[in-house]
Structure 1
Amino acid sequence: MAGKAARVEEYLGALEPDFRAELERIRALVKELVPEAEETMSYSMPMLKYKQRALVDYTASEKHLSFYPSCWAIEELEDRLEGFSKTVHAIRFTPAAPLPDNLIRDLVLVHVREVDAGRQ
């Protein structure tokens, strides 16, 4: 979708408006939750890093969006992910069926807790 963007703004700017709006919402929420998170690009995806470690990635594909919080967070909150397509590392969703703010918050906070605890 956004090709080989060098910056997050460039990546988001290349998306369809509804996909961009969803990823911007996630981006803003994570930055609000973890203000010290650093924004970068990794593997052609926007990433927010916390304490020099990947906190979350998010990306757009042709038909869906993906959110990568951590396998630990996905495993811990598995019971709240019914109805979403997922892998070990990612949760897929669409603008028509977005991830709820409270779920994003909890996924991010699980990962922050684990990073703070030194989990590798």
Structure 2
Amino acid sequence: MWKCPKCGRSFKNTNQDHYCGSVATIDDYIAAQAEDVQPLLRQIRETIRAAAPNAKEKVSWQMPTFWQGENLIHFAAARKHIGIYPGGQAVGVFSERLKDYKTSKGAIQLPLGKPIDYELIADITRWRVQQLEEDQK
């Protein structure tokens, strides 16, 4: 077991990648990330905001989150990628466009060092908004 010297949490793997600390706003979250990742996170935030103009911003599960009656989409920085978390159905619906990315149920990894497909993020977000609106009818 490895214990993070900063937050005190214990992990199975030494130097386990995790976020320690608590943030109140998305601005706080972005400011706490590596300088080279901050512009990417800001652009992802703006992309999601434009695609979901009625969604509210908040921090949930220690990640920037857009909320529209329920969690619409989260995003977060990791050591080697930026994670987008739109839920399990989105990964299936967009599977053809996601074939070059590592995915798991509800998660998409956008590798750092490669161009980010902001239009894909916008399309997934718009799909999630449409899905939520249909569920509310």
TM-score under structure 2 length normalisation: 0.79
Following superposition, which runs of at least 4 residues in structure 1 exceed 2 angstroms of deviation?
Answer: none
The alpha carbon displacement at 1:101 in A equals 1.8
Q: Which residue of 2 aligns with 1:42?
A: 60
Matched, 1:71 2:85: no
The alpha carbon displacement at 1:32 in A equals 1.0
Query: Percent identity of the aligned residues?
Result: 25
What is the CA RMSD across the aligned residues, in angstroms?
1.6
Give the structure with higher Rg (CA).
2
DSSP 3-state at the match of 2:43: helix
The alpha carbon displacement at 1:13 in A equals 0.2
Q: Which residue of 2 aligns with 1:30?
A: 48
Aligned length: 118
Matched, 1:80 2:82: no
Matched, 1:118 2:135: yes
Query: In structure 1, how many angstroms separate the alpha carbons of the residues matched to 2:79 and 2:22?
Result: 15
Relative contact order: is structure 1 or structure 2 higher (C-alpha 8 Å, sep ≥ 6)?
1
Conservation of the 8 A alpha-carbon contact between 1:2 and 1:15? no
DSSP 3-state at the match of 2:96: helix
Q: Which residue of 1 aligns with 2:34?
A: 16
User: 5+ unaligned residues in a row in structure 2: which ranges?
Assistant: 1-18
The alpha carbon displacement at 1:94 in A equals 2.6
Moved more, 96-105 or 19-28: 96-105
Conservation of the 8 A alpha-carbon contact between 1:56 and 1:69? yes
